[in-house]
Amino acid sequence: MKFFVDTAEVADIRSLAAAGLVDGVTTNPSLVAKSGRDFKEVIAEICAITPGPVSAEVTATDAAGMIAEGKVLRAIAPNVAVKVPLTEAGLVACRTLAGEGAMVNVTLCFSPAQALLAAKAGATFISPFVGRLDDISTDGMRLIADIVQIYRNYPALKTEVLVASVRHPIHLIEAAKMGAHVATLPPNVIRMLLKHPLTDRGLEAFLADWQKTGQSIL
Q: How many Å apart are CA 82 and CA 43, to the nearest integer?
A: 11
Which amino acid, 120?
A: K
Q: How many Å apart are CA 180 and CA 2, to the nearest integer?
A: 9
Q: What is the pLDDT, as a whole number, of residue 36? A: 85
| Residue closest to 92 by CA, chosen among 115, 117, 113, 109 | 117
**Under a CB-based contact definition with an 8 Å cutoff, are residues 60 and 69 in contact?**
yes
Residues forming a β-bridge with 54: 25, 80
Residue-wise pLDDT tens digits, 52-97:
999 999 999 999 999 999 999 999 999 999 999 999 999 999 999 9
- The pair phi, psi for residue 199, each rounded to 5°, is -65, -45
Q: How many Å apart are CA 218 and CA 198, to the nearest integer?
A: 27
Q: What is the pLDDT, as a whole number, of residue 33? A: 84
Q: What is the pLDDT, as a whole number, of residue 30? A: 84
Q: What is the pLDDT, as a whole number, of residue 212? A: 95
Q: Which domains does the chain have, with CATH numbers?
A: 2-213 (3.20.20.70)
3-state secondary structure 98-143: HHCCCEEEEEEECCHHHHHHHHHCCCCEEEEEHHHHHHCCCCHHHH
Residues known to be catalytic:
83
Q: Which helix (H) or strand (E) holds 87?
A: none
Q: Which helix (H) or strand (E) holds 58?
A: none
| Residue closest to 123 by CA, chosen among 148, 147, 98, 153 | 98
Residues in contact with 101: Cβ distance below 8 Å, sequence separation at least 6, in sequence order: none
Residue-wise pLDDT tens digits, 41-54:
999 999 999 999 99
Hey, what's the torsion of the CAs at 71, 76, 79, 81, to 10 degrees?
A: -40
Residues in contact with 134: Cβ distance below 8 Å, sequence separation at least 6, in sequence order: 140, 167
Q: Residue ranges of the chain with pLDDT lower than 70?
A: none
Hey, what's the torsion of the CAs at 155, 158, 161, 162, to 10 degrees?
A: 170
Q: What is the pLDDT, as a whole number, of residue 178? A: 98
The mean of the pLDDT values for the chain is 96
**Under a CB-based contact definition with an 8 Å cutoff, are residues 144 and 180 in contact?**
yes
Q: How many Å apart are CA 162 and CA 148, to the nearest integer?
A: 10
**Under a CB-based contact definition with an 8 Å cutoff, are residues 134 and 164 in contact?**
no
